[in-house]
């Protein structure tokens, strides 16, 4: 049985002020996919995420989104800035802010939304931190809290931009294990930009390489056998 399509890009070109960064991309993201986006710095990986999120209109081509994604159902975990790491709020308040799109005209979060926030904190193993200040947490704890926040917005798709940047190896592996669980056990589609090739090739079902010499889309094994993947292979050995 074919899985439902979430996002379809046809001959997509994206860029800024009329200058194209990413050209003629064809991409189909389905329910339950795990797509890792890798490649050269400045080649358009984060630009693609902005396009998928609807934050950047196409210069050419089209992006089609399933109706459920237009109503929300997408969680986004961006790269953290130093200012965001020092955000003066409790863990529970940060996670609840993921429900903002669901508040409508209400001034307060509903009991169901509060329950959802606590459930996601528990799912990510940080429920005991709910009353602590976000700025006092370790980098790994902060990323888990932000992932719980993203899950409050997401029911079908998670989009992540370099989620392990600044994390120590143990915290990074914990985050990858959590993403793998959400994908394999709960059917959450994952689209992740990363420079960390080893977990990308271990966990992903599909790899999209975006480079200055072009793009490649295929399985991890196909990627490593391609001209694009061969020059990255030595990093893994």
| 133: helix, strand or coil | strand
Of 132, 156, 157, 155, nearest in space to 145 by CA: 132
Of 84, 217, 236, nearest in space to 228 by CA: 217
Residues 6+ apart with CB under 8 A from 87: 94, 134, 135
Helix axis angle, 139-153 relative to 169-186, nearest 10°? Answer: 20
% the chain with pLDDT above 90: 44
Q: What confidence tens digit (pLDDT) does each residue in 46-79 have? A: 999 999 999 999 999 999 999 888 766 789 988 8
Domain segments of the chain: what residues? Answer: 5-236
Q: Which two tokens stand for residue 30?
A: 């389905």
Confirm or reject CATH 3.40.50.300 for domain 5-236, answering yes or no.
yes
Most confident of 73-82, 193-202, 214-223: 214-223
Q: Alpha carbon of 67 to those of 4, 30, 33, 76, 81: distances in Å?
A: 11, 13, 18, 18, 32
- Whether this prediction's pTM lies above 0.85 is answered by yes
Lowest mean per-residue pLDDT among 49-58, 65-74, 126-135, 161-170: 65-74
SS3 of 162-225: the string is CCCCCCCHHHHHHHHHHHHHHHHHHCCEEEEECCCHHHHHHHCCEEEEEECCEEEEECHHHHHH
Confidence of residue 1 (pLDDT cuts 50, 70, 90): very low
């Amino acid at each position: 049985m074919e899985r439902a399509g979430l996002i379809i890009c046809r001959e997509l070109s994206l860029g800024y002020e009329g200058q194209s960064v990413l050209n003629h991309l064809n991409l189909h993201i389905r329910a339950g996919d795990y797509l890792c986006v890798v490649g050269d710095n400045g080649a358009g990986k984060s630009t693609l995420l902005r396009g998928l999120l609807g934050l950047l209109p196409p210069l050419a081509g089209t992006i089609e989104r399933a109706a459920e994604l237009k109503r929300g159902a997408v969680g986004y975990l961006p790269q953290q800035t130093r200012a965001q790491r020092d955000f003066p709020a409790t863990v529970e308040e940060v996670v609840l802010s993921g429900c903002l799109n669901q508040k409508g005209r209400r001034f307060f979060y509903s009991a169901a939304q509060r329950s959802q926030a606590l459930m996601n904190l528990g799912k990510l193993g940080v429920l005991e931190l709910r009353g602590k200040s976000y700025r006092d947490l370790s980098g790994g704890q902060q990323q888990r809290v932000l992932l719980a926040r993203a899950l409050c917005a997401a029911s079908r798709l998670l989009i992540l931009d370099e989620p392990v940047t600044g994390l120590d190896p143990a915290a990074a592996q914990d985050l990858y294990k959590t993403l793998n669980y959400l994908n394999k056990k709960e059917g959450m589609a994952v689209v992740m930009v990363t420079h960390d090739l080893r977990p990308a090739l271990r966990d992903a079902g599909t790899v999209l390489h975006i480079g200055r010499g072009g793009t490649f889309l295929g399985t991890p094994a196909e990627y490593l056998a391609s001209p694009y993947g061969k020059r990255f292979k030595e990093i893994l050995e």
